[in-house]
């Protein structure tokens, strides 16, 4: 119910279109039952050799005679026999309503119908064609209206969910995985869109068609119609029970589709490694396994859905026979009773029975369509649950409700007794030691600090706290004495520049990739940043210059070129704090030298953190301090020269770098 209410709030802005689509559905249903009800006059004219004018006159005469007879019975009935008088009075009222209907039919409709029987059939068939054309027009309009609501509201859900994901912290996004999030924003949204579209069209139109046919059938014989309706609770039970199964299996199917997204994206993102190590068979086997899992869950969904249609059709057919069998008995025996039970107001004619037959067949068609659309609706419901699970995820890095005035870093940065542990849903990782434990570090404004350590030492985690990619479980990070959790996220992050090992450039031009660092920058500032990053030389050689597209993830540029564009992106931001996270670990010596030259100039008047496994000899004279981490704790802090004498751990890191350079 909560999911339905949320979906309702999403489609509510499009309520005018929904209202118009419902009107179209009502008109479609009315025209549907009208076309089926026309069976009655056709049978009267063709098979009972009767004209509609004579039929109506005969009916009026018969009803008037019945009214006169009932009025006489009412006058003769004893005042004390209340139940008998009430029964006669009820019959009298029914007869009066029938007389009124037939008189209005004679006054308003019959003048438009020819007296000639053949011309009457032609007029009726013309009416059928007209009603069918109008029904088709209304159905077309309804499909357009509902489709526009479905796709527009699905786009709204996708946009809102995407915006929410963008507000989550780094750890929350990574725990979901890009493949799973992509699956929910594409595959799941598509399934939800289909569900909304079918709900707004078939789920509204088909029940209305069935209801209109039932109402029309009741006008001919309400007793037999009510007998056929006894089967409805059984159909409801089938829908309810299969619906629960469908929703659960549909959720599993979408999970397995997320696994397929993951396998495909992982393989394509690692194409070079896959090819180099001849890993194609391994990844092929992984995809085959994911495909099989998807196939198995999809077949469960298919089996339940396939069983539902014949089951509901069988029950509907039983209800249909519930009219046909007793109706046939009444016609063949020219009576209105079976075993003393009155089932008609008078002897049932072939025209009435045929019309009831056609109208109940008109009920069967919507039931059949609904049994086919029901699995789609349940899949959409499961998709909505998965989407809203992401939309409801709470960030671990919340925005403060009462931010303090923006503080531009100019004094010092303090990591005050920081402890942090990455969350994991797997029990085997719950007893792992924390990534950071009671780490304390104070960095003065303008210092260039190298944070070094082996894999898993916690160096990247420590610096990730600064732009609040994550928040500490214990302790605080303070800039100039202000806890960064008290700053607005935008105010905090706009004074921080970041250059990472995996240089992420967007599928856009060089100019726009640099502009990403500061959307308010002018063209002159962009060019100056590119020049300062020593990227102007190679950019000038490109055919389109700054307008050159870099391709997906910057694939049209070399590693060194991408790193310089990334540096330009950080430079144009003019940050008070610059973070280089393993920025030199994946580039050649020439590019590393360029970065050194850039930093030597750009580091003046700002605080710089250089995160690395090791310290390159080229960077030693640039660094003011070195901080060494091991197992989440700061084990050494000082100048390069001091640590070379006092810290064996640091000495091994530097020696490791020397060995690599020599190789």
Span 258-302, pLDDT tens digits: 888 888 887 877 777 778 778 888 888 888 988 888 888 888 888
Q: What is the mean pLDDT of residues 304-331?
A: 79
What ranges do the domains of the chain cover?
15-51+115-391, 505-574
State phi, psi for 555 to the nearest 5 degrees.
-65, -15
Least Cα distance to 164 among 324, 382, 398 occurs for: 398
Q: Are strands 607-612 and 625-630 parallel, antiparallel or unpaired?
A: unpaired
Residue 165 has pLDDT above 50, yes or no: yes
Residue 92 has pLDDT above 60, yes or no: yes
What span, in angstroms and rounded, lies between the C-alpha atoms of 130 and 117? 20
What span, in angstroms and rounded, lies between the C-alpha atoms of 395 and 400? 12
pLDDT at 346: 66
Listed ranges 18-22, 40-44, 503-507; the one with the highest mean pLDDT? 18-22
Contact 572, 515 (CB under 8 A): yes
Q: What is the mean pLDDT of residues 603-625?
A: 82
For the whole prediction, is pTM greater than 0.85? no
Q: Which band of pLDDT confidence, cut at 50, 70 and 90, is reported for residue 29?
A: very high
Strand partners, 496: 577
State the CATH architecture for 15-51+115-391. Up-down Bundle (1.20)
| Residue 223: both structure tokens together | 């007793």
Q: Which band of pLDDT confidence, cut at 50, 70 and 90, is reported for residue 155?
A: very high
Task: Enumerate residues 6+ apart whose C-beta is below 8 A from 193.
Answer: 150, 151, 154
Q: What is the mean pLDDT of residues 505-531?
A: 90
What span, in angstroms and rounded, lies between the C-alpha atoms of 537 and 519? 24
Please provide the DSSP assignment of 199-231 as one string: HHTHHHHHHHHHHHHHHHHHHHHHHHHHHHGGG
Residue 427 has pLDDT above 60, yes or no: no
Residue 60 has pLDDT above 90, yes or no: no
Residue 587 has pLDDT above 60, yes or no: no
Q: Which band of pLDDT confidence, cut at 50, 70 and 90, is reported for residue 48?
A: low
What span, in angstroms and rounded, lies between the C-alpha atoms of 317 and 308? 14
Contact 553, 513 (CB under 8 A): no
Least Cα distance to 14 among 138, 143, 147, 136 occurs for: 147
pLDDT at 238: 79
pLDDT at 376: 85
Q: What is the pLDDT of residues 632-645, one digit of tens each?
A: 888 888 888 888 88
Helix (H) / strand (E) element for 608: namely strand 607-612
Domain 505-574, CATH among 3.30.160.20, 3.30.2270.10, 3.40.50.300, 3.20.20.140: 3.40.50.300
Dihedral sign, CA of 442, 445, 450, 454?
Answer: positive
Q: Which band of pLDDT confidence, cut at 50, 70 and 90, is reported for residue 663?
A: very low
Q: What 3-state DSSP class applies to 202?
A: helix
pLDDT at 141: 94
Average per-residue pLDDT for the chain? 83
Residue 489 has pLDDT above 60, yes or no: yes
Q: Are strands 337-338 and 633-638 parallel, antiparallel or unpaired?
A: unpaired
pLDDT at 424: 61
pLDDT at 364: 82
Residue 125 has pLDDT above 80, yes or no: yes
Same fold: 15-51+115-391 with 505-574: no
Dihedral sign, CA of 533, 538, 543, 548?
Answer: negative
Residue 310 has pLDDT above 60, yes or no: yes
Least Cα distance to 26 among 166, 164, 212 occurs for: 212
Residue 425 has pLDDT above 60, yes or no: no
Residue 375 has pLDDT above 80, yes or no: yes
Q: Which band of pLDDT confidence, cut at 50, 70 and 90, is reported for residue 584?
A: low
The CA-atom distances, in angstroms, between 475 and each of 343, 405, 479, 485, 611 are 83, 22, 14, 11, 21
Q: Which band of pLDDT confidence, cut at 50, 70 and 90, is reported for residue 134?
A: very high
Residue 662 has pLDDT above 50, yes or no: no
Q: Which band of pLDDT confidence, cut at 50, 70 and 90, is reported for residue 560?
A: confident
Residue whose pair of structure tokens reads 């002897």 in the numeric block: 347
Please compute Rg for the chain using Cα positions: 39
Contact 513, 565 (CB under 8 A): yes
Listed ranges 469-473, 588-592, 617-621; the one with the highest mean pLDDT? 469-473
Looking at 140-154, 268-282, 534-548, which range is the least confident one? 268-282
Looking at 203-207, 227-231, 387-391, which range is the least confident one? 227-231
Share of the chain above pLDDT 70, in %: 94
Q: What is the pLDDT of residues 390-404, one digit of tens each?
A: 888 888 888 888 888
Strand partners, 633: 630
pLDDT at 591: 67
Q: What is the mean pLDDT of residues 518-547?
A: 89
Q: Which band of pLDDT confidence, cut at 50, 70 and 90, is reported for residue 428?
A: very low
What span, in angstroms and rounded, lies between the C-alpha atoms of 579 and 413? 13
pLDDT at 525: 92
Give the N- to C-terminal CA distance of the chain in Å, as an integer: 65
Displacement of CA 7 from its chain's centroid (Å): 10
């Amino acid at each position: 119910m909560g999911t339905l209410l949320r979906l309702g709030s999403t489609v509510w802005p499009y309520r005018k279109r929904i209202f118009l689509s419902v009107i179209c559905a009502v008109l479609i249903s009315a025209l549907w039952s009208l076309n089926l009800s026309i069976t009655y006059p056709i049978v009267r004219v063709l098979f009972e050799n009767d004209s509609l004018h004579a039929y109506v006159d005969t009916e009026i005469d018969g009803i008037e005679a019945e009214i006169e007879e009932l009025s006489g019975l009412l006058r003769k009935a004893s005042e004390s026999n209340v139940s008998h008088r009430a029964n006669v009075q009820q019959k009298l009222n029914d007869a009066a309503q029938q007389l009124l209907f037939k008189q209005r039919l004679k006054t308003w409709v019959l003048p438009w119908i020819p007296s000639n029987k053949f011309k009457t059939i032609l007029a009726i068939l013309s009416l059928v064609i007209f009603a069918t054309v109008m029904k088709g027009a209304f159905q077309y309009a309804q499909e357009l209206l509902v489709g526009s609501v479905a796709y527009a509201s699905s786009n709204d859900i996708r946009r809102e969910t995407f915006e929410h994901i963008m507000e989550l912290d780094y750890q929350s996004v990574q725990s979901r995985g890009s493949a799973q999030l992509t699956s929910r924003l594409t595959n799941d949204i598509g399934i939800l869109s289909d569900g909304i579209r079918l709900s707004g069209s078939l789920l509204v139109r088909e029940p209305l068609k069935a209801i209109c046919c039932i109402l029309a059938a009741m006008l001919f014989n309400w007793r037999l119609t009510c007998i056929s309706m006894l089967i409805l609770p059984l159909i409801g039970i089938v829908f309810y029970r299969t619906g629960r199964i469908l929703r659960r299996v549909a959720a599993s199917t979408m999970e397995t589709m997320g696994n397929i997204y993951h396998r495909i994206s992982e393989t394509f993102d690692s194409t070079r490694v896959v090819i180099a190590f001849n890993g194609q068979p391994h990844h092929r086997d992984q995809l085959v396994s994911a495909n099989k899992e998807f196939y198995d869950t999809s077949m469960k969904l298919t089996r339940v859905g396939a069983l539902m249609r014949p089951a509901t059709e069988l029950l509907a057919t039983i209800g249909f026979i519930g009219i046909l069998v007793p109706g046939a008995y009444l016609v063949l025996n020219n009576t209105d009773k079976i075993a003393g039970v009155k089932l008609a107001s008078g002897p049932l004619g072939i025209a009435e029975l045929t019309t009831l037959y056609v109208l109940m067949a008109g009920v069967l068609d919507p039931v059949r369509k609904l049994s086919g659309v029901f699995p789609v609706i349940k899949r959409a419901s499961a998709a909505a649950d998965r989407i809203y699970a992401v939309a409801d995820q709470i960030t671990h890095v919340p925005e403060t409700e009462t931010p303090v005035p923006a503080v531009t870093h100019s004094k010092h940065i303090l990591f005050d007794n920081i402890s942090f542990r990455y969350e994991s849903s797997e029990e085997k990782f719950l007893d792992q030691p924390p990534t950071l434990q009671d780490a304390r570090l104070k960095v003065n404004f303008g210092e260039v600090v190298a944070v070094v350590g082996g894999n898993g030492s916690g160096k990247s985690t420590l610096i990730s706290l600064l732009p609040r990619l994550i928040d500490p479980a214990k302790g605080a990070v303070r800039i100039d004495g202000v806890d960064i959790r008290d700053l607005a996220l935008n105010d905090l992050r706009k004074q921080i520049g970041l250059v990472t090992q995996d240089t992420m450039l967007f599928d856009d031009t060089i100019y726009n990739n640099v502009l990403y660092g500061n959307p308010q920058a002018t063209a002159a500032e962009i060019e100056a940043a590119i020049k300062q990053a020593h990227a102007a030389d190679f950019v000038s050689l490109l055919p389109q210059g700054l307008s050159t597209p870099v391709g997906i993830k910057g694939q049209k540029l070399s590693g060194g070129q991408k790193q310089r564009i990334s540096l330009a992106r950080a430079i144009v931001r003019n940050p008070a704090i610059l973070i280089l996270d393993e920025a030199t670990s994946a580039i050649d010596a020439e590019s590393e030298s360029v970065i050194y030259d850039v930093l030597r100039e750009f580091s003046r008047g700002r605080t710089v953190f250089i995160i690395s496994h090791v310290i390159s000899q080229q960077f030693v004279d640039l660094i003011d301090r070195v901080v060494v981490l091991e197992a989440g704790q700061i084990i050494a802090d000082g100048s390069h020269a001091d640590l070379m004498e006092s810290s064996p751990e640091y000495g091994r890191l530097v020696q490791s770098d020397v060995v690599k350079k020599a190789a």
